[in-house]
A and B are shown apart, each in its own frame.
Chain A
């Protein structure tokens, strides 16, 4: 489980995150929803200690991410928005590299890789070098890489970005099954339908602040809107001068 409290982060004179707090318990998919530039990726990076918050803090399963970074990181699997794979390594080699760096033994790695190849239906691409993989294939490798050590906590930064329908469904199915295994999943996206379809709990982030959180129904009700899209627009406070892409 992840507990983030009063996160703040500035880069030079620009404050990307002003004040973000939320809890992501086990067995639940927590969605970070917000327009581009709202501070989702910065928040995600603070969650696993890649960026150090200026104020506030994060604990993962009770471990402080800033002071106990390595121990905290062993309990999380991260899928950053950058899917960088090693193009000269095969899909399996990419996954095994991360498994070894996570400290898995060779037999353990082999067992986990076989399991993930099954679950993500990757047998066709397993032995191929990843140069020239489609976005969907890359996503599967990156996901398998992030999950290879069977982490209790999983951070997914815009995992369905640029995926076709089939790949999107595969990712969603995977995320649901992780939740059903009792893991803590934090999922960030700027696409409402995505978040609405998948997340049990939605944290709406805008301009570096949490502006609302709750279930999809609760958010609609709170915003006095008839659907989530209207609720989102109302909550985020977008108007015609600030497009959703802004």
Chain B
């Protein structure tokens, strides 16, 4: 068949699928809503973390029986906490979440304290409430600090070297500074852009294959004097267009959202200039044809639209896996990683975001691997459409 006729057929199929997809609210939503929303959500998370980092909120400690322990109250206030009167019924107030915790000082506190016997302090908490954990931990630390301060004073008064009480000197060093946490969030951003590539083409890929068969419009289509390869490539191009739209939208939203995020509060140096955004796009776009071709192949092999939906939602996790693993356990980038779609995007986007350039090898590997997988999938897809069983419904 003449090359220009073939191209004309491909264009016709692609244009029809694009129009059909454009009128399909579900396809449009899955392609556009996610890339629009997700970077904004991540930016909000960034901002929240930055605010937390900048100004730890003043700690309010509800205390019952504070008149029994003036020394303790003074210690807490010196440490920056605000001691307030506890509600009447501490158990109920904590249980209902009215206050995060209540410190209850025993009536016999001052007598026992003076006699050098353990003075009782109770702390009401609700361990089922995650949001209160930080407050509980801070109050616990303060109480322990007061306790050891008093112990030290008592020992020094009795002429004992306080160092005897400290057999080990433990210092906790947190490797995950704010910078690391922010870097993790950036990996998450990239993961979302990767998902945008998959979600963008997913619905169209499904509708133009499994959907076409389920609507019974496949048989008349296959009766036309059109080579199967033209049908396959036309549908592929339509799906790629949607995937690329999703990725571009995600990148733009990401850049805009990042510019409204106080990244400097996190001490993060993220370069999101126009060249960086273009570099990001260049890293993400090669994933789009891979996603579209694999989705078409999987959806065409499914016996029904429902089955296609199930399979494709499952394959959605594949490209996210490298990102998820790297969020939990960062790995050092290696050259070969650029050849694995999904992983490549994660590793190379990190490079771009940190302001490192991409090497020729990186670009060659990411594009080469993408082209290879895409072509293999399209060849398999054409072979599938050449078989009689492609018409069979489950």
If the complex has contacts A84-B218, A97-B16, A100-B12, are A78 and B223 also in contact, measured as CB distance less than 8 A? yes
CB contact list, B1-47 vs A, under 8 A = 1, 5, 8-9, 12-13, 16, 19-20, 23-24
Contact B217 A86 (CB under 8 A): yes
If the complex has contacts A88-B20, A93-B19, A97-B16, are A78 and B215 also in contact, measured as CB distance less than 8 A? no
Contact B19 A89 (CB under 8 A): yes
Give a binary string over A53-81; 1 marks a CB under 8 Å from any B CB, 0 the rest.
00000000000000001110110001110
Give Cα distance in the complex from A84 to B216, angstroms.
4
Contact B220 A145 (CB under 8 A): yes
If the complex has contacts A70-B1, A86-B215, are A101 and B9 also in contact, measured as CB distance less than 8 A? yes
Task: Assess whether B388 is interfacial by the CB under 8 Å rule.
Answer: yes
Task: Assess whether B227 is interfacial by the CB under 8 Å rule.
Answer: yes
Give Cα distance in the complex from A50 to B220, angstroms.
10
Task: Assess whether A112 is interfacial by the CB under 8 Å rule.
Answer: no
Contacts of A71 in B (CB 8 A): 225
Contact A50 B225 (CB under 8 A): no
Contacts of B108 in A (CB 8 A): none
Contacts of A79 in B (CB 8 A): 220
Interface of B (DSSP majority class): helix
Give Cα distance in the complex from A125 to B102, angstroms.
73
Contact A73 B223 (CB under 8 A): yes
Contact B225 A74 (CB under 8 A): yes
Tell me how far the C-beta of B30 lies from the nearest C-beta in chain A, rounded to whole angstroms: 16
Contact B20 A82 (CB under 8 A): no
Tell me how far the C-beta of B360 lies from the nearest C-beta in chain A, rounded to whole angstroms: 42
Task: Assess whether B383 is interfacial by the CB under 8 Å rule.
Answer: no
Contact A84 B219 (CB under 8 A): yes
Give Cα distance in the complex from A69 to B388, angstroms.
14
If the complex has contacts A82-B216, A84-B215, A88-B24, are A50 and B222 also in contact, measured as CB distance less than 8 A? yes
Of A48, A85, A100, A101, the residue contacting B217 (CB under 8 A) is A85
Contact B225 A70 (CB under 8 A): yes
CB contact list, B214-238 vs A, under 8 A = 215-220, 222-227
Give Cα distance in the complex from A79 to B217, angstroms.
11
CB contact list, B337-394 vs A, under 8 A = 388, 391
Give Cα distance in the complex from A67 to B391, angstroms.
21
Size category of the B interface is: 20 to 34
If the complex has contacts A88-B24, A101-B9, A101-B12, are A70 and B220 also in contact, measured as CB distance less than 8 A? no
Give a binary string over B226-265; 1 marks a CB under 8 Å from any A CB, 0 the rest.
1100000000000000000000000000000000000000
Contacts of B391 in A (CB 8 A): 50
If the complex has contacts A84-B218, A89-B19, A101-B12, are A50 and B224 also in contact, measured as CB distance less than 8 A? no
Give Cα distance in the complex from A85 to B216, angstroms.
8
CB nearest to A78 among chain B residues: B223
Interface centre among B12, B16, B217, B225 (most CB of A within 10 A): B225
Contact B219 A98 (CB under 8 A): no
Give a binary string over A95-106; 1 marks a CB under 8 Å from any B CB, 0 the rest.
001101111000
Contacts of B23 in A (CB 8 A): 88-89, 129
Give Cα distance in the complex from A48 to B222, angstroms.
10
Tell me how far the C-beta of B221 lies from the nearest C-beta in chain A, rounded to whole angstroms: 8
Give Cα distance in the complex from A70 to B216, angstroms.
21
Contacts of A162 in B (CB 8 A): none
Give Cα distance in the complex from A73 to B5, angstroms.
16
Give Cα distance in the complex from A145 to B223, angstroms.
12
Give Cα distance in the complex from A214 to B294, angstroms.
52
Give Cα distance in the complex from A100 to B226, angstroms.
11
Give a binary string over B158-175; 1 marks a CB under 8 Å from any A CB, 0 the rest.
000000000000000000
If the complex has contacts A80-B220, A84-B215, A86-B20, are A73 and B225 also in contact, measured as CB distance less than 8 A? yes
Of A48, A87, A93, the residue contacting B223 (CB under 8 A) is A48
Contacts of B225 in A (CB 8 A): 69-71, 73-74, 101-103
CB nearest to A93 among chain B residues: B19
Give Cα distance in the complex from A146 to B5, angstroms.
21
Task: Assess whether A174 is interfacial by the CB under 8 Å rule.
Answer: no
Contacts of A89 in B (CB 8 A): 16, 19-20, 23
Contacts of A51 in B (CB 8 A): 388
Contacts of A83 in B (CB 8 A): 216, 220
Give Cα distance in the complex from A88 to B20, angstroms.
6
Extra pairs beyond A52-B388, A88-B23 (4, CB < 8 Å): A84-B216, A85-B215, A88-B24, A89-B19
Q: List 14 A-B contacts (CB under 8 A).
A: A50-B219, A50-B222, A71-B225, A74-B225, A84-B212, A84-B216, A84-B217, A89-B19, A89-B20, A101-B9, A101-B13, A101-B225, A129-B23, A146-B220
Instruction: State the 8 A-B residue pairs at the shortest beta-carbon distance, nearest first.
Output: A84-B217, A84-B216, A82-B216, A73-B225, A88-B23, A78-B223, A70-B225, A100-B12
